[in-house]
């Protein structure tokens, strides 16, 4: 792990300082197999900020048009491109393309230990950052991203939103029911480890095991939808959905 040496952790929330201090021993690190010689280098951006509902983290939902991971929630990120300043440059470029995140408003704090995803043959470096100048959440290419959401950490640590998912292969892992999405797999495992390292985790019922839902299934009302008395949810500015014509949708006005 390496932190931004010129800024360190000055002015950061306590939970982020704890995460950075504990990042070298992230629990997930010890459960991943060794990478193959063909593994593709990738990076994801774990972007924390202060939102309308308190501290939050940015997640995207992948488009149904993708060949792999269709409809799955994830951190913004992807494979390294020629010329990238890997891994930080890769993570920031992908976040800008997928969620309209201006790299100039992001303070990179640390890179976590690289993690190998065997099924996709990817070697992923999570990049932890702080959103110093939150502007907007924006759906980029609608063929790649279906939604962008700033998910409150309070929702992620709420025991009522925690359970485990059973994959048809037999794999059972942590999951979250937040922002109308079922977050599972690598993203959920990484979130689970991060919340633990940051000292935010709360006890939850790990006996609650549910079957994996179909890709793209939304089991809960989306933030920003209208309820029975036609009142909009107060969290609406933290979720972006593609417009009907597929062009980017901005739902948080620039400051």
> DSSP 3-state assignment of 165?
strand
CATH number, domain with residue 168: 3.90.79.10
How many whole angstroms from its chain centre is CA 77?
A: 9
In a domain, 253, yes or no: no
In a domain, 255, yes or no: no
| Domain, as residue range, for 184 | 2-234
In a domain, 241, yes or no: no
Question: Is the pLDDT at 235 greater than 60, yes or no?
Answer: no
How many whole angstroms from its chain centre is CA 111?
A: 15
In a domain, 26, yes or no: yes
Instruction: Tell me the average pLDDT across 20-28.
Output: 85
In this predicted model, what pLDDT tens digit does every residue of 178-191 receive, in sequence order? Answer: 999 999 999 999 99
In this predicted model, what pLDDT tens digit does every residue of 73-82 receive, in sequence order? Answer: 999 999 999 9
Angle, alpha carbons 60-66-69 (nearest 5°): 60
The pLDDT of residue 221 is: 35
Q: 157 or 135: whose pLDDT is higher?
A: 157
DSSP codes joined into one string, 135-151: ---B---TTTEEEEEEE
In a domain, 147, yes or no: yes
Q: For the chain, how many structural domains are there in total? A: 1
In a domain, 75, yes or no: yes
Q: Which two tokens stand for residue 227?
A: 């309820």
In a domain, 252, yes or no: no
Contact 111, 87 (CB under 8 A): yes
Say what the pTM is: 0.82
């Amino acid at each position: 792990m390496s932190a931004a040496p010129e800024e360190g952790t000055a002015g950061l929330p306590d939970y982020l300082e704890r995460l950075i201090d504990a990042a070298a021993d992230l629990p997930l690190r010890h459960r991943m197999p060794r990478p193959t010689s063909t593994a593709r280098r990738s990076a994801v951006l774990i972007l924390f900020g202060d939102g309308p509902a308190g501290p939050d983290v940015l997640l995207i939902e992948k488009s149904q048009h993708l060949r792999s991971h269709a409809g799955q929630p994830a951190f913004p990120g992807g494979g390294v491109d020629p010329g990238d300043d890997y891994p930080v440059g890769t993570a920031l470029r992908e976040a800008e393309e997928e969620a309209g995140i201006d790299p100039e408003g992001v303070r990179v704090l640390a890179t976590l230990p690289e993690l190998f995803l065997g099924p996709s043959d990817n070697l992923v470096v999570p990049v932890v950052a702080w959103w110093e100048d939150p502007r907007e959440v924006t759906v980029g290419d609608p063929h790649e991203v279906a939604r962008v959401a700033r998910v409150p950490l309070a929702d992620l640590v709420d025991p009522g939103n925690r359970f485990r998912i059973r994959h048809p292969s037999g794999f059972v892992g942590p999951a979250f029911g937040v922002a109308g999405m079922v977050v599972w797999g690598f993203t959920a495992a990484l979130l689970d480890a991060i919340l633990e390292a940051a000292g935010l985790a709360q006890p939850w019922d790990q006996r609650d095991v549910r079957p994996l839902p179909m890709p793209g299934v939304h089991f809960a009302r989306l933030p920003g939808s209208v309820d029975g008395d036609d009142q909009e949810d107060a969290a609406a500015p933290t979720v972006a959905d593609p417009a009907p014509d597929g062009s980017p949708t901005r739902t948080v006005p620039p400051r």
